Chain A
Amino acid sequence: DVKVTQSSRYLVKRTGEKVFLECVQDMDHENMFWYRQDPGLGLRLIYFSYDVKMKEKGDIPEGYSVSREKKERFSLILESASTNQTSMYLCASSPSLGQGLTHTQYFGPGTRLTVL
């Protein structure tokens, strides 16, 4: 059974703080993703990674960075948190079909981040 875990379910931070969100998967998946989910906007892709030390910008990368030093771990970093980054953050992983194609994604439980 695929398991994706995220370091915190709830997090409260202050404006300007540096925030780390950690995600770990135990299925040896090549691909990992970070999304944020906001009411009425659905899931929006922030960054993804298809291999260790590889990363690609998603649709809304501004204000975020990522790190993937090990295959099982993908970190999302908010360098200087702002109130408009208050959101639900979801991590996902998926196996690769080859040619870089992604397939079914398995999600972690999410981290609800509030920036005051």
Chain B
Amino acid sequence: RKEVEQDPGPFNVPEGATVAFNCTYSNSASQSFFWYRQDCRKEPKLLMSVYSSGNEDGRFTAQLNRASQYISLLIRDSKLSDSATYLCVPLDTGRRALTFGSGTRLQVQP
């Protein structure tokens, strides 16, 4: 099983829609998570950090389900500018480096 698994998508949604995607992780010891956003041909940038059961930042909500070992990202009222690839990253406290998921591509259409 891969350490981090994400549906590659693409998720095609109209502007204003609510969209959610999941990320499953294999290391049950992971305590914290990051969601990164990567625009086409650009570098990844931190979107949000999740240190407990979840986090909310404006239109973005991340929720952690430890029992089932997945973390979700919910985007409400999608904007065209939300079109990007979203990378899930669990923080493994036993390792110095991060393991990035391969990402879920979101395309918001007018």
Contacts and interface: CB of A to CB of B under 8 A. Distances in A.
A31 B97 CA distance: 9
Contacts of A60: none
A43 B43 contact: no
Main secondary structure, interface of B, reads loop
Nearest to A6: B43
A105 B38 CA distance: 13
B44 A58 contact: no
Q: Which size class do B's interface residues fall under?
A: 10 to 19
A42 B96 contact: no
Nearest to A112: B41
A43 B100 contact: yes
B102 interface: yes
Contacts, number: 49
B87 A108 contact: no
A106 B8 CA distance: 23
Contacts of A101: 91, 93, 96
Given A42-B87, A42-B101, 18 more contacts: A35-B100, A42-B103, A43-B102, A45-B99, A50-B96, A56-B97, A90-B43, A90-B44, A102-B91, A103-B91, A104-B46, A104-B49, A106-B46, A107-B43, A107-B44, A109-B42, A110-B42, A110-B43
Interface of A: 31, 33, 35, 40-43, 45, 48, 50, 56, 58, 90, 100-110
Interface of B: 8, 34, 42-46, 49, 87, 91, 93, 96-103
21 contacts: A33-B97, A40-B8, A40-B102, A42-B103, A43-B44, A43-B102, A48-B96, A48-B97, A50-B96, A58-B97, A101-B93, A102-B96, A102-B97, A102-B98, A103-B91, A104-B34, A104-B49, A105-B46, A107-B44, A109-B43, A110-B42
